[in-house]
Amino acid sequence: MKNNEYLNKLYKKNEQGEFIIEVYIDKLLNAFNEWDSSYLEIRELNSSLIYYIERCSNDIPISQSVELRFIVSQENKEQEEVLKEALKTNFNYQLHLVKQKLQFLYKKSAKYFAISILFLMMAFTMKPLFQLNLAGDLVVEGLFIGGWVFLWQSISLFSFESLEVVHKKKIFERLLNSGIIVEYRP
């Protein structure tokens, strides 16, 4: 309940009940990287702006929708459309990167699981063969320990590390589906 009160103090809501992430800028050109000298249509977005939008979106629960509202003092309809397209492209690209990372984590987890099964099967098979042999016992115990370590790493990657990546994926999906409004106020 307190978290909801806190969010209502920080963020306004629109008519649909979506939280509004407001960005105040002097002119739309400020939303783009000032060091990028390419044409506006392919210019990179300002990294501070993207960071701000991601941080604000991270504050708001995933179950809530958001709207991006840019309050600008100088009107420029051409740059407005370019900004909207650039934001969608950026969020789509970030979503692509997060999906790749998630796929990498799942593949790595599966690989570790397979290695752990292999080690544990080898240990169980070799255990009766090396009874009363110190060197054989060390190999078998090493395989058991290695098998359990790989199994834990697999579970850790799948269960814990992927949670953060799944959360980022949901944030970028929400941002990609959010409305982008540009208001002009002198």
Q: Are the beta carbons of 170 and 163 closer than 8 angstroms?
A: no
Query: 1 pLDDT band (50/70/90 cuts)?
Result: very low
* pLDDT over 80 at 132, yes or no: no
What b-and-e string marks burial along 91-103, b requiring 16 or more CB atoms within 10 Å of the CB? beebbeebeebbe
pLDDT, one tens digit per residue, over 149-165 is 999 999 999 999 999 99
Query: Which of the listed ranges 23-27, 83-87, 131-135, 168-172 does the model predict with the highest average pLDDT?
Result: 168-172
pLDDT at position 40, please? 53
Counting residues of the chain whose pLDDT is more than 70, the rounded percentage is 94
The set of residues, in sequence order, having a beta carbon less than 8 Å from that of 46 and lying 6+ positions away, is 30, 31, 32, 33, 34
Query: 112 pLDDT band (50/70/90 cuts)?
Result: very high
Q: What is the mean pLDDT of the chain?
A: 88
In this structure, what token pair is assigned to residue 109? 């987890």
* pLDDT over 60 at 2, yes or no: no
pLDDT, one tens digit per residue, over 53-65 is 999 999 999 999 9
